[in-house]
Copies of this chain bind each other. A is one copy, B any other.
């Protein structure tokens, strides 16, 4: 006998939670589609050579390698690996099918990704990511950077996750500032951004010391710290940026892009309080070259970001000579699901199974089957109990599965062509004529073909 168990850190839910999880995916997908994004799915594994293009280090340490029985038996080194994010497969996909795609290419992808790490709550080995990216050919206006928060706002509002804030920034602003302050070496600029990214974790004092250590004059470092600590409105922060006596072109370009983005957010009707121009958002990844996003639940800033992304200059330089700038954002669905579960905020979903046709008398089975068929043809979601069993057991089944309506049909009902409708929540029983049944049940549910 083998103990039934899963690998720790992998994804598995009981049906009740799975229904909620599926509902969340549906809402996210509909939100993406409403903004004109097209679906893509990629294989779970890729050739190692294709997947591990980056200069490695951290990523390579967390990969799961895959090989067939034959390859293993012959002592080969695995040449495939599970995807660890959805961005690398996207880059490969866009380069591979470049001629078949229409640009700007809006794609969404909702799939699981894999990281070979020591699992803990919030850091799993298998988790869902829900990504959108807009990929341009040669160029892509910063207006697209404003659409992504608009999509996330619509989705998170529909999911009823409570108040949340999408923080955004533009790395050109910070890099340009630092450049204006005399740090012209790009690598040092990146190090400054990484220090700023640690603000929430290590505090302002340590970041200030690091910045000075990296070569900033004390007054410049203090100016920078003041700026990234700015808690004002988008207009206040923009005004503060405009007023800075820094003429660095990268800085000015960043300010211009953010200004355009703020105007576009308003034209898109995104509520003011849902986005914040937060100059302390830097994102650790060197990959990002412009806009960066992080999203926090207002009631739980300690959870960190549940939806992040940014702008990149060139998506697929490892695979193609075409220049493919893009902007993307990713909902960490598994993390979000766990947070909502832990805080009791999982969205309520309509009942999946709406009706249980109970079995009162095995001799009436043909009646139960045709009743179920009739209701299913009317688009209700119907379970039919077919096993001889006490009614009590069937009611408990309905209760355990959250089925709101149980239909009772015994000899009496059969004789008068009626059905007794038992409402599990209201604890009522109503005798309904069989030919009125659908009319009686329809208002109780959102019935769709």
Contact = CB atoms under 8 A, between A and B. Distances in A.
A65 B61 contact: no
A150 to B, nearest CB: 7
Interface in A174-211: none
B143 A386 contact: yes
Contacts of A312: none
A12 interface: yes
B267 A369 contact: yes
Nearest to A15: B38
Interface string A263-283: 110011100000000000000
A408 interface: no
A2 B41 contact: no
Interface residues of A, number: 114
Contacts of A71: 116
A383 B139 contact: no
Interface string A64-101: 11111111100001101010000000011101110011
B47 A44 contact: no
B263 A366 contact: yes
Nearest to A14: B100
B72 A68 contact: no
Contact of A383 (B101, B106, B367, B380): B106
23 contacts: A1-B318, A3-B319, A5-B50, A6-B42, A6-B96, A7-B47, A10-B43, A11-B43, A15-B101, A18-B41, A33-B352, A33-B353, A35-B383, A45-B126, A63-B68, A72-B77, A104-B385, A139-B387, A143-B369, A147-B384, A264-B366, A267-B373, A448-B448
